[in-house]
Amino acid sequence: MAAEDQPDPDKPAGTDEEGTAVASLFGEWDITNIEYDDPSTERYITITPVAHTMGRHASKQFQKSEISIVERLINRLMQTEENTGKKQKTMQITREAFEMVHDRTDENPVQVLVTAVENAAPREETVRLKYGGISVPKAVDVAPQRRVDQALKFIAEGVYSASFKTPTDASEALADQLVGAANYDVQTYAINQKEEKERVAAAAR
């Protein structure tokens, strides 16, 4: 780590150069200057300094977007047989992955996550319509909230497939997915799945 990257021992954590308190995720990553490139999904990508709301919005339909996108990613990563309910473990995986992302890109990992979600969100998908007992695929636009849901799903699936029964750590697999998706690398699972969905939809127009 370069000298300029070393934390200032005289400056308390979570403060700026003037010592003013700033919002930070995991007490380390700034969330106040996040940029959004996709206006359609911006309102559904919420950034907060809280990574564990204890299911505050679970009983309210369509209010899941009020939860931090980081916590939603953590919840997605828990949706496997091995990690079900292990939120502290999954939060630690995410924290370590964010540190790896920062080391690789020298960027705010929260910004990298937002860009990765925007890039991995499919714009089109197919539905099945029945005409006289025959199912016909039809291309439809994807709602912005569903686009974010699908992006998080693809990232979580990519992490699982890259880390389950392999030498790759889950935190390293997550860092790979986030950096790859943020760079729109088609070799990344999330981007590959997005491209496949849009390809199938284009064929069904």
pLDDT in tens, 33-73: 899 999 999 999 988 887 777 766 666 667 778 888 998 89
Q: Name residues whose C-beta falls within 8 Å of residue 143's C-beta, 6 or more positions apart in sequence.
A: none
Are the C-beta atoms of residues 1 and 9 closer than 8 Å to each other? no
Q: What is the CATH number of the domain that holds 128?
A: 1.10.455.10
The arithmetic mean of pLDDT across residues 167-171, rounded, is: 89
Are the C-beta atoms of residues 198 and 124 closer than 8 Å to each other? yes
**5 belongs to a structural domain:** no
Residue 19 has pLDDT above 50, yes or no: no
**1 belongs to a structural domain:** no
Average pLDDT over the chain reads 84
Predicted TM-score (pTM) of the model is 0.82
Kindly report the CA angle at 44 between 83 and 22, in degrees rounded to 5?
Answer: 85
**19 belongs to a structural domain:** yes
**7 belongs to a structural domain:** no
**145 belongs to a structural domain:** yes
Are the C-beta atoms of residues 113 and 69 closer than 8 Å to each other? yes
The count of domains in the chain is 1
**9 belongs to a structural domain:** no
How many angstroms separate the Cα of 35 from the Cα of each of 20, 81, 115, 182, 185?
22, 35, 9, 13, 20
Q: Sort strands 124-131 and 134-141 into parallel, antiparallel or unpaired.
A: antiparallel
Phi, psi of 26 (to 5 degrees): 55, 20
Residue 74 has pLDDT above 60, yes or no: yes
Q: Map tokens 């979580």 to a residue.
A: 156
Residue-range definition of the domain harbouring residue 71: 15-203
Radius of gyration for the chain, computed over Cα atoms and rounded to the nearest angstrom: 19
pLDDT in tens, 149-164: 999 999 999 999 898 8
